[in-house]
Structure 1
Amino acid sequence: MNELTAKRHAVTAARQALFLVFRIGDERYALQAIEVAEVLPRLPLKPIARAPQWVAGVFAYRGAVVPVIDLSALTFGQPAQARTSTRLVLVHYRPDAATPAQLLGLILEQATDTLRCDAAEFQPYGLDNRQAPYLGPVRKDALGLLQWVRVADLLDDEVRALLFPLSPLDLTLLEDQS
């Protein structure tokens, strides 16, 4: 490989992004792989009382309690099917640049494939879906449309406050009430 070919290949590789591809029902979606911390099998979760039905619960992970949402239930109101390919995907949730990233679990169906492509291939799809701001642009390929899910836009302010309270619970307040 000559120097010019190597430089051209390096520029092309720099524009390429890796995506984790999954399904909600029959539709394909993708998360940018740099947002993914780890892909785990589906694990038992502790439910959160009075949380929205798409908040699947919490689980302990390496000394921290991690909230988990079911993306199928959030998007279409139907919980993800329990398949061998259904995964618990940990993502780095960071709603804005001023907030440190926190782990958030996503229950995703058929989260077993990856795709490397130019991120610029994803194009706006012409709708301003304010009920689902996390659903980003789409990319057409031989299998149909693939929609990019933006992790930073998954939670609204109310659910973010429920799952990631600004200050930790003060246990002395609970002791004073007894």
Structure 2
Amino acid sequence: MNDLPPHSSMDAANKGKLFLLFRIGDQRFALDTHDVVEVLPRLPLKPIAQAPQWVAGVLAHRGDLVPVIDVGALSFGQPAATRTSTRLVLVHYRVDPERPDLLLGLILEQASNTLRCAPEEFLPYGLDNTEAPYLGPVREDAQGLLQWIGVQALLSDEVRQLLFPVAADSGGELA
């Protein structure tokens, strides 16, 4: 006799989105893994002179130059601690239809666990934070509140232009 549950029961157990969990200080956050391209150890970066303090630098990755930001420094002014669990996470940055293959690097502290849950478990927290539109809804569990970070809303228009300058019409050079 087959000891496995019926196929429909297995499907119900696997529903939901998969989230990559990380911390900024003692606060917990989550990214939808659909946005994640690759999770790397924290790698050496080329620093960028005169860049905002939350721009960690640039990474050469498989022939592409990828800007990297420290999400803790961007959000709360707290750069990620150097730990073995601090990761450099490459994400799809899909805000420009003319350049759909952009990558953005994120320095994330304690980014070593995942959670699968229904997106509906994250609820609005009642504050319209226009200064940080990437801070999404929250989910309560036994460890407290977990907040969903929206990757596509991480960068303001000004920061997006700084990190991903649009090529000029003259000769294809960067602006």
TM-score with structure 1 setting the length: 0.87
Partner of 1:70: 70
Could you tell which deviates more after superposition, 60-69 or 75-84? 75-84
Partner of 1:176: none
Shift in Å, 1:99: 4.9
Q: Which amino acid letter does the alignment assign opposite residue 56 of structure 2?
A: A
Tell me the residue number matched to 1:143: 143
In structure 2, list runs of 5 or more residues that go unmatched: none
Note if 1:153 corresponds to 2:153.
yes
* 2:29 maps to 1:29: yes
1:12 deviation in Å? Answer: 5.5
**Cross-structure match for 2:11:** 10
TM-score, normalized by length of structure 2? 0.89
Deviation track 1:105-164 (CA, whole Å, cap 9, x = no partner) reads 000000000001111100000100111110100000010000000000000111111111
CA contact (8 A) 1:133 1:154 kept: yes
Distance 1:149 1:172 in 2: 34
* Distance in structure 2 (CA, Å) of the matches to 1:128 and 1:99: 29
Shift of 1:166: 1.4
Structure 1 residues 168 and 40, CA gap change in structure 2 (3 angstroms): farther
Measured in 1, the distance between the counterparts of 2:119 and 2:142 equals: 17
**Normalized per residue, which structure has more helix?**
1
User: Kindly tell me: are residues 102 and 111 of structure 1, through their superposed partners in 2, closer, same or farther at Cα, counting changes over 3 Å?
Assistant: same
1:1-150 aligned within 5 A: 5-10=6-11, 13-14=14-15, 16-95=16-95, 99-150=99-150
Q: Please, what is the CA RMSD of the aligned residues?
A: 2.4
Q: Deviations over 1:65-123 (max 9, x none)?
A: 00000000001112111111111000111126665141100000000000011111000
Structure 1: which 5+ runs fail to align? 174-178
SS across alignment from 2:14? helix
My pick for the range that moved more, 30-39 or 48-57, is 48-57
- The answer as to whether partners of 1:89 and 1:106 remain within 8 angstroms in 2 is yes
- 8 A Cα contact 1:96 1:152, kept in partner: no
One-letter amino acid of the structure 2 residue matched with residue 59 of structure 1: L
Give, in angstroms, the shift of residue 172 of structure 1.
9.5
Identity %: 64
Q: Are the aligned partners of 2:86 and 2:107 in contact in 1 as well (CA < 8 Å)?
A: yes
Aligned length: 171
The answer on whether the counterparts of 1:69 and 1:105 sit within 8 Å (CA) in structure 2 is yes
Question: Is 2:70–2:106's contact at 8 Å kept on the other side of the alignment?
Answer: yes
User: 1:88–1:107: 8 Å Cα contact kept in structure 2?
Assistant: yes
